[in-house]
Structure 1
Amino acid sequence: MPKPLTFITGNANKLREVKEILEQSGISVVSQNVDLPELQGDPTDISVEKCRLASEQVDGPVITEDTSLCYNALHGLPGPYIKWFLKSLGHEGLNRILAGYEDKSADAMCIFAFCPGKGQSVVPFVGKCPGRIVPARGPNTFGWDPIFQPDGFAETFAEMGAATKNRISHRSRSLGMLREYLQSHPELFA
């Protein structure tokens, strides 16, 4: 029986999305809430270090996830600090940040990092979804989803059904790369 993949999260919404995307491929996912430090720096470096730290506390393969919302007018900010910007400013404040800029484009970015076990190398998977920042629309149940409208769609992430969002989102793109990697390395779960 293969080992389950431990997703380090306390966020029920993220866990649900990850399970919906990975378990359809036969990859068993469990969650564990591990207290990790809030790191600063480049999003990929943050993800790799976060996963390395988590692997030291969990027996078996682990994944961590870090999400960024990168405003192009601000050269990628708020980026990995979006959680704190949202908490302090709310959706309206996140829109006001761009008030002086014509460019409202942004990239939703998700980086899943995988480590097969303690002391082993961490592999990051970067998924991006281009879009733009809009006034909040839709349910206010999942982070900054109400203000992000992906390119080619008239709806924000919050307005979309789960099936559509899980097909096109930054998270699904990152998980798609992770899924392909895991399926091509079954020995990591022996």
Structure 2
Amino acid sequence: MRSVTFVTANTSKLEEVKAIASDFLEINSVSLDLPELQGEPEDIARAKCKFASNELGVPVITEDTSLCFNALSGLPGPYVKWFLSKIGLEGLNNLLAAYKDKTAYAVCIFAYSPSPSSEPVLFIGKTEGTIVPSQGPSNFGWDPIFQPAGFKNTYAELAKSEKNKISHRYKALEKLKSFFLQFSGTE
């Protein structure tokens, strides 16, 4: 089993990652004040991982999540955390009030760096869905307004075990797992 340091201050995210990846990762977590960058999701994920790797000097993974509204050409995207803190779940819904298209997609990007001198490797998971009025517990980000395609419930309404089998985070971690299995014993 590979040991990595997951850089996050979000305890709910840490719990979810441990639940999904415990069969292939031994996760140590560190809360590190990472810079809030602007740009494309892949560029943000890569830069955050490089920063964390340089600061800590150990193998690290970082994670960046985006919620992208198709009617808004992908916004709020990687800035969803800030949108959510400023306008809330209802405000996120209101962003789409003038549009018929309520479809969206959730993207999770894990970046892995075995050392400060390494270029981070990205693992991207994407789940299609729809933005709906808030439903279910509101204790984990925008989960109450994201209804994954093919489901009648939002992420917040799904059992954690069910969400952890279909989510954007799960899909990205499965790619990370495949990478580690493919390169077992090497860095």
TM-score by length of 1: 0.96
What does 1:27-66 correspond to in 2, within 5 Å? 27-66=25-64
1:57 partner SS: helix
Number of aligned residue pairs: 187
For 1:106, give the aligned amino acid.
A
* Identity over aligned pairs, percent: 52
Instruction: Report whether the alignment pairs 1:9 with 2:3.
Output: no
Instruction: Kindly state the Cα deviation for residue 59 of structure 1 after the two structures are TM-superposed.
Output: 3.0
Instruction: Report whether the alignment pairs 1:175 with 2:179.
Output: no
What does 1:121-136 correspond to in 2, within 5 Å? 121-136=119-134
Instruction: Kindly state the Cα deviation for residue 31 of structure 1 after the two structures are TM-superposed.
Output: 0.3
Contact 1:61 1:188 survives alignment (8 Å): no
Quote the residue 1:153 is aligned against: 151
- Separation of aligned partners in 1, 2:176 and 2:65: 15
Instruction: Report whether the alignment pairs 1:81 with 2:82.
Output: no
- Separation of aligned partners in 1, 2:119 and 2:185: 15
2:155 partner SS: coil
Please list the CA deviations of residues 128-181 of structure 1 after superposition, one character each: whole Å capped at 9, or x if unmatched.
Answer: 000000000000110000000000000000000011100000000001001110
Instruction: Kindly state the Cα deviation for residue 57 of structure 1 after the two structures are TM-superposed.
Output: 1.4
Instruction: Kindly state the Cα deviation for residue 187 of structure 1 after the two structures are TM-superposed.
Output: 2.6
1:117 partner SS: coil
For 1:63, give the aligned amino acid.
I
Contact 1:116 1:188 survives alignment (8 Å): no
Quote the residue 2:65 is aligned against: 67
- Separation of aligned partners in 1, 2:93 and 2:22: 35
For 2:27, give the aligned amino acid.
V
Instruction: Kindly state the Cα deviation for residue 186 of structure 1 after the two structures are TM-superposed.
Output: 2.3
Instruction: Kindly state the Cα deviation for residue 3 of structure 1 after the two structures are TM-superposed.
Output: 5.7
Instruction: Kindly state the Cα deviation for residue 60 of structure 1 after the two structures are TM-superposed.
Output: 1.9
Instruction: Kindly state the Cα deviation for residue 92 of structure 1 after the two structures are TM-superposed.
Output: 0.5
| Structure 1 unaligned residues grouped into runs of 5+ | none
2:165 partner SS: helix
Instruction: Kindly state the Cα deviation for residue 119 of structure 1 after the two structures are TM-superposed.
Output: 1.1
- Separation of aligned partners in 2, 1:147 and 1:123: 30
